[in-house]
Amino acid sequence: MATSPEYQQIIKTISKKAKAERKENATFFKRLKKKKPNGLTKAFRAYHDEAFAHHKCMQCANCCKTSLAVFEKPDVRRISKHFGMSEKDFVKKYLTPHPDYDYLIKKLPCVFLGEDNLCTIYEIRPLGCRTYPPARLQLSSEQLDVIHDNVGICPAVNEMVDKIKQQFPV
């Protein structure tokens, strides 16, 4: 199953909206990181659950189609073992080194995304994928950057950020 027509339209809309709000969002996230308002993590967690209660990842999968998945060394160890490959061969076949992370997936869409929009390594997927978007975590500046970077990619993230902007007008 490819991205549903409904989600194709949603993705198009949020992408356009994110471009129009690029400066506003950059300023907002910069101020959020500086001020670190009380209750921010709790609010993101609540809005995360709300958004994902009605956004269906398997009808969208835009993150897997447009964002390079991060693989840390423990992910490489675990997943290469699952495939019966050496870590070196796994990295050579699927990943590229990155200065800020250990590795990023080489190609988009993610090679582990199936035709049905399901992750073919879901049970052993990388930690970055397990925690995407990081809105349920104790928010750090880096996690806020990830959320900011995904405003125009993920319908749920877009919705969360709109609600955070209303609750925390910094």
Spatial distance between the Cα atoms of 137 and 42, rounded to a whole number of angstroms: 9
Structural domain span for residue 150: 5-65+133-167
Q: What is the pLDDT of residues 37-77, one digit of tens each?
A: 999 999 999 999 999 999 988 889 999 999 999 999 999 99
pTM over 0.85: yes
Query: Residue 1: is its pLDDT beyond 60?
Result: no
Q: Alpha helix locations (H) across the chain?
A: 5-20, 22-35, 40-54, 57-60, 62-66, 73-82, 87-94, 127-130, 141-149, 155-167
The answer as to whether 85 is a domain residue is no
The answer as to whether 74 is a domain residue is no
Q: For residue 7, what pLDDT is reported?
A: 92
* Mean pLDDT score of the chain: 94
| Band of pLDDT at residue 100, cut at 50, 70 and 90 | confident
Query: Residue 154: is its pLDDT beyond 60?
Result: yes
The answer as to whether 80 is a domain residue is no
